[in-house]
């Protein structure tokens, strides 16, 4: 990537204080410097979601990790912010623009289990295995998978950083925990993954594995500079997934999975398959459908694909399975 020098001093990049957020923001900071020729300094911001021990559902979903960063952007305290895209509410606020969606990392969920076990081995051999997750989406699909194997599991709600969550397995309190594979890899802890959960059995959260780079809409020069980081195929894929979420009128904590599949790396194919799943947290009911269309040429076409799949899912009863809704 060739640097294009821009006028001005260091850019202030707002980030959450967690180790994962700092790792993600540090990577983006290097890309921004390469793209703009300007140094980037990280500005650590504490969000309510970082200090609260309440469940995500009770405090408004993963969007609580985003609001403080957006407030700082709108106040001019920072120049840009980096978010985990799966945490972003689907409505874009006035005054801010999603300037770039860099190439997506591994979108799958990952199991970290005692004894290096896969999910199937754990479910079959552990009796009623205790699996920790803070996600109703994961819980529902894991219960459904276990039942398909002729087993039952117990899902245990957990919060905390990666060390805290994996610690529940290390100290024997839980048999396994489920985390985003991308986060573990970004922290250099991919070797702790004992099983990668294929989207065929556990659909990830909409936008999982992708990052979002946001700036003020009024800073057209910065937005143009950041656009160099954008990966068009990643953007249309996550746009389709998030459009599905929005059309279902579901919040970040709703048990909705979505994945826009671009086989063969997405570089030579002409079609995109969008899969969606909505289920009860206990896995007793699940609506899972897919739709295939040409690879979208624009955000608008991607959004239309998401809305079309949402309509089919709602016709199959998806609305009655969502515990968390925002209107």
- DSSP 8-state symbol, 115: G
Let me know if 219 is exposed, middle or buried by CB neighbors in 10 A (0-12, 13-18, 19+): middle
Active site residue 87: yes
Distance CA 119, CA 125 (A): 10
Contacts of 28 (CB under 8 A, 6+ apart): 13, 82, 102, 211, 213, 229
The dihedral through the CA atoms of 298, 300, 301, 302 has a sign that is positive
Integer Cα distance of 87 and 70 in angstroms: 12
**Sequence-separated (6 or more) residues with CB below 8 Å from residue 274:** 240, 241, 244, 258, 259, 260, 261, 290, 291, 292, 293, 305, 306, 309
Give the SS3 label for residue 277.
Answer: strand
The residue from 79, 87, 109, 195 that is catalytic is 87
Q: Which of 206, 205, 201 is nearest to 123 (CA)?
A: 201
* 230 burial level (CB within 10 Å; 0-12, 13-18, 19+): middle
The token pair at 234 is 């990643």
Closest CA to 129 of 158, 162, 151, 160: 151
- Active-site residues, by number, are 87
């Amino acid at each position: 990537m060739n640097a294009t020098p821009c006028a001005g001093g260091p850019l202030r990049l707002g980030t959450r204080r967690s180790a994962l957020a700092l790792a993600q923001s540090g990577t983006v900071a290097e890309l921004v410097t390469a793209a703009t020729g300007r140094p980037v300094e990280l500005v650590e911001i504490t969000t309510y979601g970082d200090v609260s021990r309440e469940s995500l559902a009770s405090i408004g979903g993963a969007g609580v990790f985003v609001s403080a960063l957006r407030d700082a952007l709108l106040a001019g305290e920072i120049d840009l912010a980096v978010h985990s895209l799966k945490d972003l509410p689907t409505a874009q606020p006035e005054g801010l623009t999603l300037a770039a969606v860099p190439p997506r990392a591994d979108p799958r969920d990952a199991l970290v289990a005692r004894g290096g076990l896969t999910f199937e081995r754990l479910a079959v051999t552990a009796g009623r295995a205790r699996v920790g997750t803070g996600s109703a989406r994961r819980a529902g699909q894991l219960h459904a998978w276990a039942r398909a194997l002729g087993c039952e599991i117990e899902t245990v709600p957990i919060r905390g950083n990666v060390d805290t969550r994996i610690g529940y397995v290390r100290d024997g309190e839980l048999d396994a925990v489920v985390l985003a594979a991308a986060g573990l890899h970004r922290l250099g802890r991919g070797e702790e993954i004992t099983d990668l959960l294929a989207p065929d059995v556990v659909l990830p959260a909409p936008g999982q594995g992708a990052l979002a780079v946001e700036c003020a809409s009024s800073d057209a020069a910065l937005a143009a500079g950041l656009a160099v980081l954008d990966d068009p195929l990643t953007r249309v894929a996550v746009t389709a997934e998030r459009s599905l979420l929005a059309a279902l009128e579901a919040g970040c904590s709703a048990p909705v999975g979505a994945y826009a599949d671009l086989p063969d790396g997405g570089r030579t194919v002409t079609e995109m398959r969008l899969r969606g799943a909505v289920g009860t947290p206990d896995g007793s009911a699940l609506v899972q459908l897919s739709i295939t269309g040409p690879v979208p040429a624009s955000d608008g076409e991607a959004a239309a694909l998401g809305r079309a799949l949402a309509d089919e899912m709602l016709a199959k009863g998806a609305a009655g399975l969502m515990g968390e809704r925002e209107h």
